[in-house]
Structure 1
């Protein structure tokens, strides 16, 4: 479908009462501006009217974005975009186009045609009946050689055992001269057996080498074509990366290869990640810069069915992905005044750590939300640094286990090396009993029907969007959470659910993902800014902790009530 200008959309709703933001959206952590909410609602009303053929409801949904802009006449409006393609359409009416239009270029068509021709040659050669026959002959010869060699080896083994028995018997019954003569005879027989095996192996080797050469001669042609195809594909790929030229407000241009050259992904794989540059946010900004529209605010939301692995809920807003978009958007937003990155702020500097228990070898604390367990990249204030100040004579690493920055609750601190080793072993062996309390942002059907249960969803890090985790049944690590329903609560006209969570494993973000993922509760924890929506805090608290004292050995249990 051909894109019809303009992509600039005027608001249908009245917007005179809205105040414009002073800074542009920080795309990796934000609350949608009210104007973005209006634009998103208007876009969603449009999506409902789009042909169903554009959406494959057997698959997952799609990320859409809106960019509030001001045109050269000073009129406010918005641009709409989507990540990737819709039903193999990259360009749809009223949606911004791809950053890269090289698929229309003559060089792309010609080189893609040559690559396709090479691919067809490989298919034909691999399906060649002569190749199949020669492979069958080779396989038969190898099998026959192995069988014949094995049979002769077994025969020689029996003859060797017989010679040994003859030698033992002769040593007792024959005279010295006769025994010497027999030994010489047995030695000759042994040499004969070895030579027979040697010549048999050489005979079969000659036959199999000829058969292998016949197969290799055909495979060499296929390999040569494959190498040529691979080389052409890599060259075309680099040309395509070079076609992805991203603008910023100062009209400075950088291509995809340049933007990812120093990233961890490029260092690992040698190329930018698949799909980089095709997300909604870069496409929206590129179009605005290209046609001279002033970006005001940005927001992206998920539309449709949740994917199998990631946590994505219909109509929920999500930040730009770190792996694919951060290098691109860092360049594209250069020269603009944007919101501060809240992740660089120490939100817990005025919060106190409460000591629940303390003796000579250990302590138990109640960690406030938003305090790191260990130092971060940009924030040094954490449980570890505070414990070092509080217990200057303590030995060992202090930290035995961790809580997510946003999670509050009980943490055990080791004050000696011996205590640290003992306590850490208890966590490793999963003998420590932990109970968390969480408030879910809804009323899941599963919790209406059942009082307790088990969520078993393996987790793996989302390499494209750190620090998010995702459910992965192929490479994910085992993650199990036992749960109990506590009750339902009404807050601001919404029914929330309070639950107790008992993690059997301790994976990163385990409780948050198990609650938010559609195969779990499909209901994020209140205030989950990664897998749900933001609030004053994440309503997740480590409430009880039960373990053995590292030196006395008795079982001790601690409790700290949640402040929500």
Structure 2
């Protein structure tokens, strides 16, 4: 069995996926929905239990009428509001029955939503909100005007006292005036604080909405907990756990009980995300275990347009997500499945890191391009971390520099490169240099140039079923060489994909600003371009997302395992040039190192 979190699709999986894709192309009733984007998956199984309930497609063994091997197919979530379409495995738990527990309670929550919506749209209360706001502003102005009057009166009294020759009667009168005005201000504030009938009614109206929202949340949380408890997932031993148990146990493996109680992130990991158990992988494995099939290989592919936030490419294979699927798969599959060497991107697997000899070979590839008493500029090879990950023993630039410069002060690492990216890094030997360089980076005074090879969308001239597409029906933007201008600026705000780290997503509302300038240097062939990238901000995976996202260049970097659609021996991204002011002399320094690709 392959590791669903980090795999190369097996040839049998590729063949099975092609059959599913051809079938999807014929499903005219699904086209509009799945064209918006849907994940599909297949699981190659061995029929170890002879019965009549076998996979739909299979290859009959020579000595048996029943197929020996076959494959199961699945889709994530629902299609057309159904999770039980023929030819695909059903949901682990079908909660969509019209008169079932879920739909009944969902309808109750929907009624509360309607009540809230109706109240919030009530025109009289909208007008009341405006009137009350105006009344409150008027009260503030009235109080402010009286306070100004008090200041003027006090100024006059102070001026009279400074003039001297005050009689006792005048002094007493001024004291009475001051006391009267202070009392009058209190009376004014009290009278203005008394609520009008409209304000009382509006408060009751708001409290009613708040109560309904609290009730909605309580019912929604309870319904979600009930739903998670109904998803009882099997493992290869025939044991079962519901999703609440699975996520709780997985979180406790990673965090001690004390951390669960105090850490928000740790506590959140105990709660299954919405949609857990509805992805392809758990559905396929559940059906296989229920029907006595032995899972052999699995693969998942995306069909349709990319989501607005994530990056997905039509017909591209993808691993299971970390947020929803990883804890479930760790329960459903034996530990040996995950003991393959760790991925260069996500660290999945049992291997802790390279062997000592490999570490030294990796360190030998680090080149020193500039050095003085304050700093060093090095070339980091692809495959080496900038700083250690969870395992502090992992090889990294930091570990090598700490070993090379044991007397260095400060954190050493001023900025980082992704593990898969090669190129220039500045290392600060002194605390003084570190803080000066950090300030340069924060103020965007450091100029960086990256080189990348990107993969433009290649048009085959055929649809998914293999039929020729008339040239006039191919959109002009999809013709290679015409859709990417020679120069441009990409501005797409980014934030972490909290359910699928370390991936980043585009979020126009909550993401942080990320800006990249680019220019095309060379058209290598019909589908590959060499480009220069000039990041103006330094967000995680900024260049990779800006190249791959449909709102960016829509052309992933060659060999990008997270956002790409074309595999290669390495990620073709290299930090070729960096310009900065020397922290001690103020002199501008430019260092270059050409890419190895």
TM-score, shorter chain, exceeding 0.5: yes
Contact 1:99 1:277 in 2 (8 A): yes
Contact 2:44 2:70 in 1 (8 A): yes
Equivalent position to 1:108, from 77, 102, 105: 102
Equivalent position to 1:432, from 437, 446, 449: 446
* Distance verdict in 2 for CA 1:237–1:367, change over 3 Å: same
CA distance in 1 between counterparts of 2:562 and 2:368 reads 29
* Distance verdict in 2 for CA 1:53–1:425, change over 3 Å: same
Contact 2:41 2:73 in 1 (8 A): yes
Equivalent position to 1:376, from 383, 389, 401: 389
Total equivalences in the alignment: 530
- For residue 287 of structure 1, report the CA deviation from its aligned partner: 1.2
* Distance verdict in 2 for CA 1:509–1:180, change over 3 Å: same
Equivalent position to 1:253, from 228, 240, 257: 240
Contact 1:454 1:483 in 2 (8 A): yes
CA distance in 2 between counterparts of 1:511 and 1:69 reads 40
Equivalent position to 1:465, from 500, 523, 537: 500
- Larger Rg, first or second structure (1 or 2): 1
Matches for 1:80-479 after TM superposition, within 5 Å: 80-104=73-97, 106-119=100-113, 132=124, 143-144=134-135, 147=138, 150-151=141-142, 154=145, 157-158=148-149, 161=152, 165=156, 179-208=167-196, 212-217=199-204, 223-261=210-248, 263=251, 267-268=267-268, 271-334=271-334, 337=337, 340-343=340-343, 344=351, 346=353, 349=359, 350-351=361-362, 352=364, 353-378=366-391, 380-442=394-456, 445=480, 450-479=485-514
Query: In the alignment, what sits opposite 2:592?
Result: 559
In structure 1, the residue corresponding to 2:23 is in which secondary structure? Answer: helix
For structure 1, list consecutive stretches of 5 or more residues without a partner in the other structure: 1-23
Query: In the alignment, what sits opposite 2:57?
Result: none
Contact 1:265 1:271 in 2 (8 A): no
In structure 1, the residue corresponding to 2:452 is in which secondary structure? Answer: strand
Query: In the alignment, what sits opposite 2:464?
Result: none
Residue-by-residue CA offset, 1:96-116 (whole Å, 9 max, x unaligned): 111222443743344344444
Residue-by-residue CA offset, 1:229-270 (whole Å, 9 max, x unaligned): 433332222111101111111111111112222547661387
Q: Aligned-residue CA RMSD in angstroms?
A: 3.3
* Distance verdict in 2 for CA 1:250–1:423, change over 3 Å: same
Query: In the alignment, what sits opposite 1:11?
Result: none
Contact 2:247 2:270 in 1 (8 A): no
Contact 2:514 2:536 in 1 (8 A): yes
Contact 1:451 1:484 in 2 (8 A): yes
CA distance in 2 between counterparts of 1:487 and 1:302 reads 30
Residue-by-residue CA offset, 1:424-451 (whole Å, 9 max, x unaligned): 3322222222221111223685677632
CA distance in 1 between counterparts of 2:243 and 2:309 reads 27
Contact 1:362 1:412 in 2 (8 A): yes
Query: In the alignment, what sits opposite 1:6?
Result: none
Query: In the alignment, what sits opposite 1:506?
Result: 538
Residue-by-residue CA offset, 1:500-557 (whole Å, 9 max, x unaligned): 1111222111111111111122111111111114321111111122223333333222
* Distance verdict in 2 for CA 1:102–1:359, change over 3 Å: same
Residue-by-residue CA offset, 1:458-517 (whole Å, 9 max, x unaligned): 111111110011111111112122212121224xxx642111111122211111111111
Query: In the alignment, what sits opposite 1:5?
Result: none
Contact 2:484 2:553 in 1 (8 A): no
Query: In the alignment, what sits opposite 1:482?
Result: 517
In structure 1, the residue corresponding to 2:285 is in which secondary structure? Answer: helix
| TM-score, normalised with respect to structure 1 | 0.84
